[in-house]
Structure 1
Amino acid sequence: MSNTTAANDAKFGLSKLRRSPLTLLVHFSVMVIVVLWTLPTAGLFISSFRDKDQLALSGWWTSLTASQQNLVERTDDPSKQVKQGNNYVLSGQLLVDGKPSTISAFGFSSREPTRYLPGEVAEMNGGGTLTVEENGEYKMTSLEPFKGSRGKRIFYTAVVAPKFGLANYEEVLTAEGIGRSFINSLTVTIPATIIPILIAAYAAYALSWMKMPGRNLLIALVVGLLVVPLQMSLIPLLRLYNDIGAFFGVGAKTYLGIWLAHTGFGLPLAIYLLRNYISSLPREIIESAKVDGATDFEIFMRIVLPLSFPALASFGIFQFLWVWNDLLVATVFLGTGEEHMVLTARLRELLGSRGGNWEILTASAFVSIAVPLAVFFALQRYLVRGLLSGSVK
C-alpha cells in the first residue's frame, strides 16, 4: 500500500516538473501582456505632470533626466549699461529657473537661435557685439548707447532639469464650462446605464424561463444585433427620433434622445449576457417557486434578480464605460451647444483645432477616466463572475 502511494506521489511530482515549463511560459506571457498594457498608461500619467515645453520636445521616458531646451531671455535694463573706453557695455547672467546652467549655443535672432557657440563673438545688426559664455554670462558692447525701456532678446540652448507640477491639471479643471460638462456626462451616463439593465433583465428572464412561440428566433435575432455597427444605425435612428419628436412636439437635442439611443445600442449585449447567466440558475429553484404558487414576476423580483447581481454589475461596468467615454453619439444627439456639451466634447474643445496641446491631452485623459475607474474598482469583483457564469453547464 505504501509502495503504491509512493509511486503515485512520484508520478505526481514528475507531472508537476513536466508542467512547470508551460506554467512559466504562461506566467511570462501574462507578464508581457501586463507590461504592454501598463507602459502606455504609465507614460500618459507621467506626461500629465511634466512641463509643457519639455513635453513637446522629449518623450516621457526621458522625464527624469536633464535635457537641452531652446529658451529666450532679455538682457538687463539698458539703464544698467556702463561705459568702458569708447564702448557701452551691458552684461549679466542667463539663468534657467533662477539657477545658472550650461549653455551650448546662442543667437540674437529667432531665425537663427543656435548660430553661435559659447565664447564666440556675434556681430549684431546695427553694430555692436554679443558674447555668451558657457556658464551663461553674457556681454553686449556697442559704440552707441543702448536705448529703449527693455533689454535685448537673447536666444540660447541650455541644459534644463526635469520639471513636474500640477499646472496641466489646473488648466483643465479650471477651464470654463468643465463643471457643467461633468454634470452633463453624469446626466447622460447614469440613466443610459440603468435603463438598458432594467429592460434587458426582464427580457433575459423571459427568454430563459418563459415558454413562448419563436423564442429561439428572438435569441438568434439578439445575437445577430451584436454585430451591427453603431455607425450604420446612427443616421436612420436620428431621423426616426426627429420625426417622432416633431410629431409629439419634442425638441431634437434632449437627454431623452441620447438615453434611448444608448439603450438601443446596449440592449443586445445586455440581453445576451444576462440571458446566459439567468438560464444557468438551478432549475429546481424556479420550479419550487412555481409549485409554491409564485408568479413569474415574483420569481423574477425575489429570486432571479438578487441572484443575477454579478451579471448586472458586469454589464453595468461595460455600459458605464462606453457611455461615459462616448463622443460620437453625444455629438449627434446633443450637439455641441454649451448647455448640453458632455465632458469628452469639452476636453476636445480644449485641445484646439490642431490638437497640439499635448499637456492638455495628457491631463484631460486622467480627468476623464477618474469616474470610470472608481466605478470599475467598486464593481470589479463581480466582473469575472458575471462574464463566466453561464458559459459552462
Structure 2
Amino acid sequence: MTTSTIAGAPRRGVLSRVTDRIGGGVIQALMVLIGVFWLVPTLGLFVVSIREEAANNSTGWWTAFTKPAEFTLKSYGDLLATGFTSSFWNTVAITVPATILVIGIAAMAAYAFAWMDFPGRDPLFLVVVGLLVVPIQIALIPIAKLYGALGIFGSIAGVVLFHVAFGLPFAIFLLRNFFVGIPASLLEAARMDGASEWRIFSTVVFPLAKPAIASLGIFQFLWVWNDLLVALVFADSDNQPMTKALQSQMRQFGTNIDILAPGAFLSLIIPLVLFFAFQRYFVQGMMAGSVK
C-alpha cells in the first residue's frame, strides 16, 4: 500500500454518493412540506373567518371550497362593530415605539460594550446577561405600584416602558455579539481620520449590523404584538391591544367564532407578512449572533 493511498481520503460508499446526489432535493422537498403544514392552520383560520357562522358550526373549514356561496365578509363587519379598530391602533401604538426604542437603546449600549473601554464594563455586561433569566412575572406587582405612583398605570406609555425594559437585555446581548465580529481595522481607520465614537457608530457599525438589527426587530415586534400578560395587567379598557380585546370577547361570548376568527386572523397576518419580508436578514442575524 502506497503512502498516497494511506494519506488520501477514504473511498465513499455507493449509498453515500447517492445521498449526496439526491440529498439536496429531498431536503428542499421536506422543507416545502413542513412549510405547507405550517401554513395549514393559518389557511384554516382565514377560511373560518369568511364563512357563515352556521356553516362553521356544522362542517369543517375544508368543505368550504366546494361551497363558495358560504363565503362572506359579514364576520369582519361584526368585528369592526365591536370597536376592534381602536384595539388595532392601540397595538400599533404599543408595538412600534417598543420596537424602535429597544433597537436604538440596545444598539448604542451594545456598541459601548463591544468597542469602548470604561470602568466596570465586563461586570456590567454580566449583569445584563443575568437579566435574561429574570421572568417578567416577578416584576408585575412592583412595577404596577410604581406606575400607580407615577400616574401612568393603564396607559399606553406604561405598557411601552415595560416592554422596553424587559426587551433590552436580550437585545444588548444579541447586538453586542454581532458588533464584536466587525473588523477592528475599520474602526481604527475611522478613528485615524478623526471620526468621533458617535460618527463611527452611526456611519460604520450601525449600517453593517442590518442583519442583526432585522432579526432583533422581528423578535421584539412579535413579542410585543402577541403579548397578552402585560396588556392584561397594565392596559385599561381604553388602551387595550388586540390580544386583550380578543380575550375579552371570548369571556363575554364564549364560542363566538364569528368574532374571534377574523380578529385572530387580523392579529396574525401582519407578523406573518413581517417575518416573510425580513426572513433573510433574520437568519443571517441569528447565525451571526450565535457564533461570536
TM-score by length of 2: 0.85
2:73 paired residue among 159, 162, 166: 166
The partner residue of 1:317 within 193, 213, 218 is 218
Q: Structure 2: which 5+ runs fail to align?
A: 1-7
Give, in whole Å, the separation in 2 of the partners of 1:283 and 1:21: 42
Q: Which position in structure 2 is the counterpart of 1:3? A: none
* CA distances 1:160-185 after superposition (whole Å, capped 9, x unpaired): x9722212122113x14222222222
The answer to whether the 8 A contact 2:175-2:289 is kept is: no
How far the C-alpha of 1:31 sits from its partner, in A, is 4.0
User: Higher mean Cα deviation, 274-283 or 312-321?
Assistant: 312-321
Aligned length: 283
Aligned to 1:236: 142
Alignment of 1:188-337 (within 5 A): 188-243=94-149, 245=150, 250-336=151-237
Residue 202 of structure 1 and its aligned partner are, at CA, apart by 0.9
Deviation by residue 1:142-161 (Cα, 9 ceiling, x = unmatched): xxxxxxxxxxxxxxxxxxx9
Cα 1:64–1:204 change in 2 (3 A) is: same
CA-atom RMSD in angstroms:
2.8
Cα offset, 1:300, TM superposition: 0.9
Q: Aligned with 1:216: secondary structure?
A: helix
1:381 aligned residue (274, 280, 285) = 280
Structure 1 distance, partners of 2:275, 2:23, is 32
SS at match of 1:391: helix
Instruction: Name the structure, 1 or 2, with higher relative contact order (CA <8 Å, separation 6+).
Output: 2
Indicate conservation of the 8 Å contact 2:228/2:243, yes or no.
Answer: yes
1:179 matched to 2:179: no
Q: Give the letter aligned to residue 48 of structure 2.
A: S
The structural deviation recorded for 1:284 is 0.8
SS in 1 for 2:71: coil
Cα distance in 1 between the residues matched to 2:28 and 2:152 = 55
Tell me the amino acid that sits aligned with residue 226 of structure 1.
Answer: L
Deviation at 1:374? Answer: 4.1
Q: Looking at secondary structure, tell me which structure has more helix per residue.
A: 2
TM-score (norm 1): 0.64
Equivalent residue number for residue 52 of structure 1: 53
Given that 2:111 and 2:179 are in contact with CA atoms closer than 8 Å, whether structure 1 keeps it comes out as yes
CA distances 1:178-210 after superposition (whole Å, capped 9, x unpaired): 222222222211111111111101110011111
* CA distance in 2 between partners of 1:367 and 1:220 (Å): 40
Letter in structure 2 aligned against 1:167? K
**Alignment partner, residue 263 of structure 2:** 364
Identical pairs, percent: 45
Structure with the larger strand share: 1
1:315 deviates by 1.1
Which residue identity lines up with residue 231 of structure 1 in the other structure? Q
Unpaired runs of 5+ residues, structure 1, are 1-7, 67-160
How far is the alpha carbon of 1:362 from its aligned partner? 1.6
Contact 1:279 1:390 in 2 (8 A): no
